[in-house]
Structure 1
Amino acid sequence: MTISPSSAGSAESAERPTVGGYTLLAKLGEGGMGVVHLARRGDGDRVALKVLRPHIVGDDEARQRLAREVGSLRRVSSPWVAGIVDADPWAPIPYVATRYVPGLSLHDLIVEEGAITGPDLYWFAAGLAEGITSVHAVGVLHRDVKPSNVLMEGRTPILIDFGLARVADDPKLTHTGWLLGTPGYLAPEILYGEDATAASDVHSWAATVAYAGLGQPPFGRGPSMAIMDRVRRGQFDLAGLPDDLRQVVASALDPEPRNRPTLPQLLDWLRPLTTRREAAPVPPPAAVEHDPYTVPLALAAQAGADDATDVWPGHNTAEPYTLALPPEGVTEFAPSQYGEPRVSAAERLRRGSLLAALAVMVGAGAAAYPWLTVGLVLVLSWLLRSISLAASAHGQRRSLRGRKWYDGVQLLVAAPWHLVQSIPGAVLLALWALGLAAAAALVCYAIATGVELALFVCGVVLAGSLWWGPGGSRLRGPVGRITGAIAAQPRRWVIALAVVLAVGAVLGFRADLSGASWDPAGGRPQAEIPGR
């Protein structure tokens, strides 16, 4: 097959070149891999014909890539996508013909008419999400969702140009010497050279929706390297978007793929606002999983907040919470700031029972081995605080400059510093807890309880004071995360609860049969006091 004059039609059309029997009517645009023409075969409908560039022709790798695209994309059937009409990847001049959409690209529309506002913006966001979802449904990732790859058919977005789409399990993202994509619309993980996922297209969806609603790129303009650096850091500007949409877009622009909402979550929220108004409204999608001590406390530590003060609303409870929008002028924030899925009452009961069992185990340990148990609990609280501080610093570094290959090494090198850094807060919390435990001991002495029962009460009070004391959020974060994960699975919770109660029972029987062991001391303190 060669480009040659058409043998049919008028004299004017006879002078036009042809590819695969399609007469090339006009040039529509071009990209890294090919040129797109407006074309027609005989009296048929006009199509958008993508022809590979001459220096790509003959490259078997490029042809195989195109063949994979065509094989998968032929299955895409959606009003939100310009589907494939015809293709021949192995022709002398390979081509792909797709439905022609007579409209401006989103990029050109915004330049000419300005940002999309009001209900049209929500309609655009929903339509683009529908198009990407229909592509993912056949196992394909687009990987280059951007304003120039979205054509506007009236107010409806039509997704085009699958020149960068791949079969979902194809790990190869680059072609020699090329960066396949556009800075500012590529997800951070792609910029790091990692495999793209469905979350990568979600990130590109959010950046494109932000451009449509703001009239400017969310990561700003300038040199490509500067834009890519902002993308990796998550430094975007969404001021001007409607509040609810701004929350959703900010969540989808999270540098961490696992924190972004999924396309089904986006559509569950968007459809009742646009295409399925009869459906029940749902809240905006939030991050898939909330880390209660990495990002929020990293921000608090960065600001020099007092570690003994609870600085983040909702951080001190296992109950779900919702935070307000960031202050005016703040354009980047953690997606977990606007809520997480509520847990059921049964799961909350399982969490509480497991925590209560742990407190009982500490009490039983104090009754059997007072000094050893107190020392172990205080050392463990110090280590947990150190881990929380390290996680906070790690999260802050990643939020500022993205993921690096040496993150793990840096975390290990900084571990000694975090152990030292956590000492003042650990000492303050220990003094608070020991003081309350001593007060409980005085009450037990006043009502003349036995020694073992008094020690049991002191141990339970010690555990509760460490949990709720000043700076206790550093403990509640990691411990609550572990107990929450266990309580989420009833079978796992039953096993864990049984183990904790069994350990507590063994310690309790030990204290009841043999009395308290004051090792490493020689005997109980103040034993010489009369009446003791």
Structure 2
Amino acid sequence: MADRDSIGDYDLLSEIGQGGMGRVHLASHRGSGERVALKVLRTQFVSDDEGRRRLAREVSSLQRVYSRWVAGVVGADPWGEVAWLATRYVPGPTLHDKVLREGPLPRSVVEQLAGDLAEGIADCHAVGVLHRDIKPANIILEGATPILIDFGLARVAEDPKITVTGVLIGTPGYLPPEIAVGDPATPASDVHSWASVVTYAATGRAPFGDGNAMKLMDRARRGDHDLDGVPQPLRGVLAQALAPDPADRPTLEELREWLRTPRRPFARKPAERLSLSDRAERAKATTPLLPQPALPASGAAALSRHPGLEKLRRGALWLGLLAFAAGVVAAWPGLGLLTVLGVAGLIRAGTLAAGDLRRWRWYRGRKWHDAPRLLIGAPWRLVRAVPKTVLLGLWGYGFVVAATLIGFALQLSLEATLALAGLSFVIALWRGSGRDRLRDPVARVVHRVSARWVPWILGFAVVVVLAVFPMQTLAAEGPQFAGGDEPWWVELLGW
């Protein structure tokens, strides 16, 4: 394989790394020119059809992950002469190399890394994918932003312990103790690895020290970690996340909530103690992998997609949504602002419901009354969403006033000024406090719709129809103010 200069639709440029499972090359797509990290798996991991089928199912599930903190899969061929998969290429050093070269990261950078990494893991858990091998060498720093790479390669093997040729699937020192002893992996397993990585970033050393694999795994099993040098209150959070028993660790949702304001002490209710069989049932109930379709022999055709076209589809969908939101505000200024703000509030309430559902299922598995319970609690979640939505609306209204004054200063028409105000309002909501509860679910939907042509065509058609409606109203009747009369400020500003 060393003499190859191309694989699939990619030209190999240089080897940028290698590990126990294969070599990683910097490669360029012949059609788009986009650079990718192309991993060529060693033959012992795909030596038979079953191994290739496992790889195909794994890649199929990973293609469902859309996150700015994950180097997602853009193409693969489990059935070719050599088995390969291509992921987004991220230029930059790994966290391991960065800390090794420059020492521990500053506190503010560590807190940002902890929050971003938790969000990336949550994006993957949301579609039923576990990483199982989160470690500093599998995190690339794109500026100050951590990007997860090598996602899911540990799942090529059915058994997460020692498999082919004595290779340990997972890294001692960052491997959760339950996986090391053969218990089923759960979201709590990635929480344990998350804490180990954050400890390394803050102190420059792994939490369980150095030594051979058996010593490191024994320390992890006993919870014998070293967090000296980690500032409080982050140290307390990491100590709980490194608990040997998965049931004693905070959930990812609890961590994400705390990391948004990480200066306060972290506290949670004591978790229930679970037997091994209960943990296995909970793992099945809370982290099911999405159904994996059977793939044809031409794996590349089934898995590859053109990344440039997908970005264009996403861009077109975003522009359509922006045009709709700005058009609604321009056509019906008062009602439009309330409508956009109301939609933001509903999305926020929906994310609260999704977080509650994940927390319930993590603690006690799927229950028949999950849906009725969500429905009964919907009014309360709407109430919970109101305070921050109102604050966000007040923040956005300041942008509306500023945009209106800018439009007057530039002598824009009333329609253009209102459209600018609507665009400013949407941007303010998108960038304001608590934006993750609005931005993440919307971005996830846009990415999923844009991943395939048929859903995108249907979604884009709906967005275009919605955007054209307020524009037609503006063209035919002009802005429609509440009460039917133009407000005093329109005459005052000379429109």
Q: Is the 8 A contact 2:5 2:11 kept in 1?
A: yes
Q: How far does the alpha carbon of each residue in 1:364-387 deviate from its partner, in whole angstroms, 9 at most, with x for none?
A: xxxxxxxxxxxxxxxxxxxxxxxx
- Equivalent residue number for residue 18 of structure 1: 6
- Equivalent residue number for residue 87 of structure 2: 98
Higher-helix-fraction structure:
2
Any residues of structure 2 matched to 1:241-260 within 5 Å, and which?
Answer: 241-260=230-249
Q: Percent identity?
A: 56
- Equivalent residue number for residue 76 of structure 1: 65
Any residues of structure 2 matched to 1:22-41 within 5 Å, and which?
Answer: 22-41=10-29
- Tell which structure's C-alpha radius of gyration is larger: 1
Alignment of 1:172 with 2:152, yes or no, is: no
Q: What is the count of residue pairs matched by the alignment?
A: 270
Distance 1:194 1:259 in 2: 15
Any residues of structure 2 matched to 1:261-410 within 5 Å, and which?
Answer: 261-273=250-262, 283-286=265-268, 288-289=270-271
TM-score (norm 1): 0.48
Counterpart AA for 2:74: V
Q: Is the 8 A contact 2:116 2:145 kept in 1?
A: yes
- Equivalent residue number for residue 200 of structure 1: 189
Q: Is the 8 A contact 1:260 1:288 kept in 2?
A: no
Q: How far does the alpha carbon of each residue in 1:383-423 deviate from its partner, in whole angstroms, 9 at most, with x for none?
A: xxxxxxxxxxxxxxxxxxxxxxxxxxxxxxxxxxxxxxxxx
Distance 2:29 2:272 in 1: 54
Indicate the SS of the match to 1:196: coil
Q: How far does the alpha carbon of each residue in 1:464-519 deviate from its partner, in whole angstroms, 9 at most, with x for none?
A: xxxxxxxxxxxxxxxxxxxxxxxxxxxxxxxxxxxxxxxxxxxxxxxxxxxxxxxx
Distance 1:4 1:210 in 2: 38
Q: How far does the alpha carbon of each residue in 1:170-192 deviate from its partner, in whole angstroms, 9 at most, with x for none?
A: 96324343321110001111111
Q: Which residues of structure 2 form unaligned runs of 5+?
A: 274-495
Q: CA RMSD in A?
A: 2.2
The alpha-carbon distance between structure 1 residues 202 and 92, as it changes in their structure 2 partners (threshold 3 A), is: same
Indicate the SS of the match to 1:243: coil
Distance 1:17 1:183 in 2: 35
Q: Give the CA deviation at 1:256.
A: 0.6
Q: Is the 8 A contact 1:133 1:263 kept in 2?
A: yes
Indicate the SS of the match to 1:87: strand
Q: How far does the alpha carbon of each residue in 1:318-337 deviate from its partner, in whole angstroms, 9 at most, with x for none?
A: xxxxxxxxxxxxxxxxxxxx
> Relative contact order (C-alpha < 8 Å, sep 6+): which is higher?
2
Q: Give the CA deviation at 1:166.
A: 3.9
The alpha-carbon distance between structure 1 residues 87 and 288, as it changes in their structure 2 partners (threshold 3 A), is: farther
Q: Give the CA deviation at 1:289.
A: 2.2
Counterpart AA for 1:104: P
Distance 2:150 2:249 in 1: 24
Alignment of 1:182 with 2:164, yes or no, is: no
Any residues of structure 2 matched to 1:119-130 within 5 Å, and which?
Answer: 119-130=108-119
Q: Give the CA deviation at 1:58.
A: 3.0
Any residues of structure 2 matched to 1:205-224 within 5 Å, and which?
Answer: 205-224=194-213
Indicate the SS of the match to 1:250: helix
- Equivalent residue number for residue 327 of structure 1: none
Q: How far does the alpha carbon of each residue in 1:98-156 deviate from its partner, in whole angstroms, 9 at most, with x for none?
A: 00000101000001111112211100001111111111111111000001000001111
TM-score (norm 2): 0.52
Q: Give the CA deviation at 1:56.
A: 3.4
Q: Is the 8 A contact 2:16 2:25 kept in 1?
A: yes
Distance 1:125 1:288 in 2: 23
Q: Give the CA deviation at 1:225.
A: 1.5
The alpha-carbon distance between structure 1 residues 79 and 288, as it changes in their structure 2 partners (threshold 3 A), is: farther
- Equivalent residue number for residue 316 of structure 1: none
Q: Give the CA deviation at 1:244.
A: 0.7
Counterpart AA for 1:123: Q
Alignment of 1:65 with 2:63, yes or no, is: no
Q: Give the CA deviation at 1:31.
A: 2.0
Q: Give the CA deviation at 1:288.
A: 4.0
Q: Is the 8 A contact 2:17 2:24 kept in 1?
A: yes
- Equivalent residue number for residue 529 of structure 1: none
Q: Give the CA deviation at 1:217.
A: 0.8
Any residues of structure 2 matched to 1:424-435 within 5 Å, and which?
Answer: none
Counterpart AA for 1:266: L
Indicate the SS of the match to 1:141: coil
- Equivalent residue number for residue 144 of structure 1: 133
Q: Give the CA deviation at 1:26.
A: 1.3
Q: Give the CA deviation at 1:59.
A: 2.4
Counterpart AA for 2:117: L
Distance 1:183 1:165 in 2: 13
Q: How far does the alpha carbon of each residue in 1:246-267 deviate from its partner, in whole angstroms, 9 at most, with x for none?
A: 0000000000100000100000
The one of 124, 140, 156 aligned to 2:145: 156
Indicate the SS of the match to 2:153: coil
Q: Is the 8 A contact 1:17 1:24 kept in 2?
A: yes
Q: Give the CA deviation at 1:92.
A: 1.6
Distance 1:56 1:247 in 2: 40
Q: How far does the alpha carbon of each residue in 1:183-226 deviate from its partner, in whole angstroms, 9 at most, with x for none?
A: 00011111111111111110000001000100011100112211
Counterpart AA for 2:266: P
Indicate the SS of the match to 1:173: coil
Indicate the SS of the match to 1:85: strand
Indicate the SS of the match to 2:120: helix
Distance 2:180 2:46 in 1: 27
Any residues of structure 2 matched to 1:41-52 within 5 Å, and which?
Answer: 41-42=29-30, 43-52=32-41
Q: Which residues of structure 1 form unaligned runs of 5+?
A: 6-15, 274-280, 292-532
- Equivalent residue number for residue 180 of structure 2: 191
Alignment of 1:232 with 2:225, yes or no, is: no
Counterpart AA for 2:99: I
Distance 1:128 1:85 in 2: 21
Counterpart AA for 1:112: R
Q: Is the 8 A contact 2:10 2:29 kept in 1?
A: yes
Q: Is the 8 A contact 2:26 2:35 kept in 1?
A: yes
Alignment of 1:89 with 2:78, yes or no, is: yes
Indicate the SS of the match to 2:233: helix
Q: Give the CA deviation at 1:87.
A: 1.0
